[in-house]
Structure 1
Amino acid sequence: MTRAQEQGIGWRSRVTLLCGMLALLWLALFNLTGPARAQIPGAPQNVRAMVEAETSNPAPGDTVTVAVIMDPKPGWHDYWLNPGDAGTPLELDWTLPDGVTAGPIRAPVPETLVVSGFMNHIYKARHAFLVDLQIAPKLQPGKKLDLKVDARWSACSDLICVPESGSFTIPLTVGNGTIAAQQRTRFDQWRAALPVPLDRQANYAINGSSISIAIPFPESAAADKVWFFPQTQNVFRYAAPQTARRTGNWLILTGGVDKGFDGQIDGLLRFGDGQGIELRALPGSIPSGGETVSVLGAGDTAQENRNSESFAVILALSILGGLLLNLMPCVFPILGLKAIAIAKAGGDERTARRDALAYTAGILLSCLALGAIMLGLRAAGQEVGWAFQLQDPFIVFILLLLMVAITANLVGLFELGAVGAGEKLARQGGAAGSFWTGVLAAVVATPCTGPFMAAAIGAALLLPSAQALLIFAGLGLGLALPFLAIAYIPALRARMPRPGPWMVKLRQWMALPMGLTALALLWLLAQLVGGAGWALGAISTAILLIAIVVIKRRQTPVGLLLGVTGVLAIAGNLALDRLPRPAAIQSAAAELGGEIFSEAKLAQLRDEGKPVFLYFTADWCVTCKVNEAAAIDREDTRKAFEKAGIITMVGDYTRRDPAITRFLAKHGRSGVPLYLYYPKQGEVKILPQILTVSDLTELAN
């Protein structure tokens, strides 16, 4: 083969590889668009905002949820409904057509930030304020509704505050009220960040300069990192320290008070990892004694807790994880080949270090590009995270194809020809060759990041963009560290083992866990989309393996494999969109007994003519726990239900569940408890919030 032909093959391989990567990037962004979205015009702002409606064609009589999405730049924040000692909250001025009314602003659970002794109730991460718009039943389908809202808010850093504003238009057309699945998922994620109302009244008492609030909170429910955010203004001293204790089914928080007060106090209790409960407190008695509970502390929140010390730990773990990637067979051959090339350089440290830095730059830029794509998906409204991805059938399908391809590579069905192209580049271009080999090493290592880097990537996706990109850079630095060490420590170059038959055997053994991972992904796909998932996964796997064999026999550039994978991904995505989803999988509610709540299962039981007692509960709901102990989990109730054939169905709302949130809203509720009885025939009956055994046994009659 001539040098020109060799260069031509390398060029075609690189072009094909680049096209395939662009195709997959386009595919990743394929489903990010949504209806009725508007962004602030003009220059970039410190807290970027946009408005988005859950549906652009609401039905007459519907309630349409509108999200005002706020995205602070790193180092900036905006404010909760009660901003605290400084700042101003979001203000909305609606211009609405006849037949449309806007409800109050619903805000997610805030964070705390103390700057120069002033307490701020803020948001540093991307979040959304929600407003419900009521569409009048008299409006006719096809009528266009042009909504306008003028928004004003404060954008602040630790040093300055800047007033910002924007005007938004939301074009709606009265229609059938359909909501796209992805749009519903997006809004369910926003709703999940909202606090839920407490089912009982809290008490407060003022004693001099301190105020104590006794909040009903089940003794069995976990409570830590608590903080009370008062929505009623001019009562609390916001920057005063808070202490917390619990006794029995009460959680008592004590803080500083500005002045005497005898009215009601509205506020929000934050606890755990960002959960929140809305409550109302009136003057009353405060229980004494109890055990101390941890509070957030001055300026500390679940997300703010990622201080410089914890961030350094995460960064160190990401570097260590990247270093461990070099033990993977898919990466080690590249490292070994480049290390031997350095050893053959005859001790020219300047050349070795130049190539090492170029190789490191290629890896770092590739890892940063990967991080930017993932952060871009998050900024577009996708809650990207490893566990979240594995709940998405399309992502599972892509991972299945990827694991099959890796397994085929490890058993020797095909070789990564791009690596060879990298070696050609390395021989031809010096530092440029090392740079491209670093790019290729990062591309090959990317599929291996899952088992090692789940924790680091998960943390990165919760951090501000600048810190998150540093985590991805840490992964790349760890991957490049052995090469840097070999380049800068001459003694290591002499001790590096040369590639040999042992690497082939290790590589073949690594095919076993990769193959098992592929089987696990196939099983997971079937769990997510039903039995059709087996067929879709198996057929796609077979097509991919056939393509691999054909590519190997015809000696086609392996970069074409990305094109085949892209076509399979598009086809798989179209198929998955058309497959029905099975009923909800098991959840924590299974521990409570009965059927796990799902609207599909409820409809099935009703179609079968079976009476159903449906109740929603949560660990933090005192009324729920009392009713369960006093009425639901009683022998008399069980016997009566068994005799009458009443099916019990349970919805666990300890952590907000989008399906339960929507179901509660249909019945005019935003929290638990809710008790419903569906007879064999007739309409649903809403039961009282305080239940007795006789209330339930009467249902059997």
Structure 2
Amino acid sequence: MSKQMDAGAAKTRPGRAGTLFGVLAALCLAWLCLTSARAQDAQAGPVRPGHVAVELVPSFAVIAPGQGRVLIALRQEIDPGWHTYWKNPGDSGEPTRLDWTLPPGVSAGGILWPAPEPIPVGPLLNHGYKDSVTLLVPLEIGAGLSPGETVRLEAFATWLVCEEICIPEEARLALELPVAAEPVPHPYWGPRLAEAEAALPAPSPWAAGYALAGERLRVWVGAPELAASLSARAVETLHLFPEADGFLAYAAPQSVRLGPEGITIEAQAGYKAGELAAAGAPLPALLTFTDALAGAGPVRHAFDLVAGPAP
């Protein structure tokens, strides 16, 4: 059974169409309608419950006791015209979630989110992924495993996929990995997950701050060398994705100014900007832009930064 929702009503910020309580009620009903899948057995290999095919893939074909950090990924292959969501979905939507069932000696961290793209949906702007996405999760492999055994990793995955309508989907996934004295990288997925990890947003090397002036929010990044090197295309594609909801009006244009002090981004303040600024809350955000390297095609850059409030 599937429950369809209008794309703009999946999870709409205050001030958008519909009431918050109505949105929450619709979401709760939608997720409850799908809970019967929890009773099904976890499945290995690709599973397609609707508009997204999902599977768990490992960086190692064989793991070893005490190996430490190992990457697992949830792969999403998304139907054309549809999208799933980043950790802050923007004006509407819900991020992908994973609920793990793991054997003793194995623990999972949170999703390592790749940079999303801005996705306009009518008057709204969402943050998400089209076509396909690799959502990496670090596992910690403890010393209590024994060579010769096989560990079974299970994850209950839930996500919202939207086009003009939104459909909550889910799958119970499984992956079995043999344990040996020495680990063996996966010949196919190992290099691909390493490539996905290398493409994750990098920590920003620059200081950043923000200030609220009336209904405008200004964010500055102290990167004069970067500002001087950005091409017109990079400036045109530069976008700030706040991790915390309420700082920015997502669908409002973001103006970019380059100068000797670095990069300044200004946009309409979000519905909670005054409250957050008054509390001195930091603004964690993702800064992205696309540029071209000499002799190569377009390259997308992404940096995790934390802007502090102006004194």
Q: What is the TM-score of this pair, normalised by structure 2?
A: 0.74
1:522-573 deviation per Cα after TM superposition (whole angstroms, max 9, x unaligned): xxxxxxxxxxxxxxxxxxxxxxxxxxxxxxxxxxxxxxxxxxxxxxxxxxxx
> Alignment partner for residue 53 of structure 1, among 53, 58, 64?
58
Total equivalences in the alignment? 247
Q: Does 1:196 align with 2:222?
A: no
1:236 equivalent in alignment to 2:248: yes
2:145 to 139, 144, 152: 139
Letter in 1 for 2:113: A
1:330-373 deviation line (CA, Å, top 9, x unaligned): xxxxxxxxxxxxxxxxxxxxxxxxxxxxxxxxxxxxxxxxxxxx
**Aligned with 1:275 (options 301, 306, 311):** 301
Q: Secondary structure at the match of 1:237?
A: coil
Cα offset for 1:192?
3.6
User: Unpaired segments of 5 or more residues in structure 2?
Assistant: 1-42, 291-298
- Which residue of 1 is the match for residue 115 of structure 2? 109
Structure 1 residue 39 corresponds to structure 2 residue 51? no
Whole-Å Cα distance in 2 between the matches of residues 145 and 49 of structure 1? 20
CA 53–96 in structure 1, closer or farther in 2 if over 3 Å, else same: same
- Structure 1 partner of 2:69: 63
SS in 1 for 2:188: helix
Q: Note the C-alpha offset of 1:128.
A: 0.7
Residue 125 of structure 1, CA deviation: 2.3
Unaligned runs of 5+ in 1: 1-35, 286-701
Q: Look up the match of 1:162.
A: 167
8 Å CA contact 2:59–2:191 kept in 1: the answer is: no
> In the superposition, relative to structure 1, how do residues 263 and 97 fare at CA in structure 2: closer, same or farther (>3 Å)?
same
3-state secondary structure, aligned to 2:185: coil
Q: Is the 8 A contact 2:49 2:171 kept in 1?
A: no
Per the alignment, residue 239 of structure 2 pairs with 227
Task: State the Cα distance separating 1:204 from its structure 2 match.
Answer: 0.8
Paired with 1:111 and 1:241, the residues of 2 have a C-alpha distance of 15
Matched to 1:171, the amino acid is E
Residues 226, 271 of structure 1: 8 Å contact kept: yes
CA gap 1:180/1:274 in 2 versus in 1, 3 angstroms: same
Residues 624-663 of structure 1: pairs in structure 2 closer than 5 A: none
Superposed counterparts of 1:569-584, under 5 Å: none
Are positions 1:173 and 2:178 aligned together? Answer: yes
More strand by share: 2
Q: Quick one: distance in 2 between partners of 1:151 and 1:123?
A: 16
CA distance 1:184–1:216, shift in 2 (3 Å): farther
Matching residue within 90, 96, 100 for 2:102: 96
1:129 equivalent among 115, 135, 141: 135
More displaced stretch, 135-144 vs 123-132: 135-144
Pair 284,137 (structure 1): closer, same or farther in 2 beyond 3 Å: farther
Code of the residue aligned with 1:173 in structure 2: it is P
Alignment partner, residue 19 of structure 2: none
The residue type paired with residue 106 of structure 2 is V
Q: How does 1:328-407 map to 2 (within 5 A)?
A: none
Question: How does the TM-score come out when normalised to structure 1?
Answer: 0.34
Deviation at 1:139, TM superposition (A): 2.6
Task: Quote the Cα distance in structure 1 between the aligned partners of 2:136 and 2:257.
Answer: 33
CA distance in 2, matches of 1:133, 1:91: 16
Q: Which residue of 2 aligns with 1:251?
A: 263
**Bigger RCO of structures 1 and 2 (CA < 8 A, at least 6 apart):** 2
1:231-285 residue CA offsets vs partner (Å, 9 max, x unmatched): 1112221111111112225211111222312201111011114321111111137
- Normalized per residue, which structure has more helix? 1
Matches within 5 A, 1:221-620: 221-222=229-230, 223-224=234-235, 225-248=237-260, 250-257=262-269, 258-259=271-272, 260=274, 261=276, 262-272=280-290, 273-284=299-310
SS in 1 for 2:218: strand
The structure with the larger Rg is 1
**DSSP-derived class of the 2:100 partner:** strand
Q: Which residue identity lines up with residue 160 of structure 1 in the other structure?
A: I
Shift of the 144–89 alpha-carbon distance from structure 1 to 2, 3 Å rule, reads same
CA distance in 1, matches of 2:229, 2:179: 44
Equivalent residue, structure 2, for 1:659: none
Contact 2:146 2:179 in 1 (8 A): yes
Amino acid at match of 2:287: L
Residue 189 (structure 1) shift: 2.8
Separation (CA, whole Å) in 2 of partners of 1:150 and 1:233: 26
Report deviation, 1:173.
2.4
Return closer, same or farther for 1:75/1:140 CA change in 2, 3 Å cut-off. same
The one-letter code of the counterpart of 2:284 is: D
Tell me if structure 2 keeps the 8 A contact 1:127–1:190. no
Relative to structure 1, the CA distance from residue 248 to residue 141 in structure 2 (aligned partners, 3 Å threshold; closer, same or farther) is farther
